[in-house]
Amino acid sequence: MMKEIKLKPVGFVKNSELEPRFGSFANEITEIVVDERFTDGLNSIEDYSHVIIVFWMDKVEGHVITHQPQGNPEVPIVGIFACRCPQRPNPIAVTTVELIEHNGNKIKVKGLDILDGTPVIDIKPYWPIYDEVKGGIIPGWVNKLDL
């Protein structure tokens, strides 16, 4: 039997995204407001060009085991762990984004695919030694999605 895991957000996001949508968030600017007790945890974050945001998709209801991404009939039905769809057993998401600014308990990032008010679980600096993938392969159907 697996133990239950309890998570507490370290902050939340502020942006203009109020409804789920498909498509690129590449130019979306998002402010992440970190709980003031974690302000010092952001010390020196501005030394990085990119950060990894781990967040809880709190507006997702239910989960699936198989899914047709974006309901697109041109792509196959795949297992939930073989796509980046939100209806996951644990609605955790991870996105690497450009860090624009750090000011006190707030950072601004570019390209975060997230809705206003979403809880942030963690913020990690991007380190190529751990995070860079050379020669990564994805299935061809991914290119048929609105990205």
Which positions ≥6 away from 37 have C-beta within 8 Å? none
pLDDT given for residue 1 in this prediction: 82
Rounded distance, CA 3 to CA 112, Å? 31
Residue 51: per-residue pLDDT: 98
Decide if 27 contacts 111 (C-beta within 8 A): yes
Q: CA–CA separation, 58 vs 17, rounded Å?
A: 14
Locate 85 and state its tokens: 């769809």
Domain 11-60+89-128 falls under CATH 1.10.150.80: no
pLDDT at 65: 95
Band of residue 144 on the pLDDT scale cut at 50, 70, 90: confident
Residue 125, pLDDT above cutoff 90: yes
Residue 23 has pLDDT above 80, yes or no: no
> In the chain, what are the domain boundaries?
11-60+89-128
Question: What is the average pLDDT across 58-82?
Answer: 92
The pLDDT value recorded for residue 27 is 82
pLDDT for res 7: 92
Does residue 94 register a pLDDT over 90? yes
Beta strands 11-14; 119-125: pairing state: antiparallel
Q: Which two structure tokens, joined as six digits, stand for 51? A: 């950060």
pLDDT class of 28 with cuts at 50, 70, 90 = confident
What's the pTM value of the predicted model, to 2 decimals? 0.89
Question: How far from the centroid of its chain's Cα atoms is residue 124's Cα?
Answer: 12
> Which DSSP state fits 118?
P
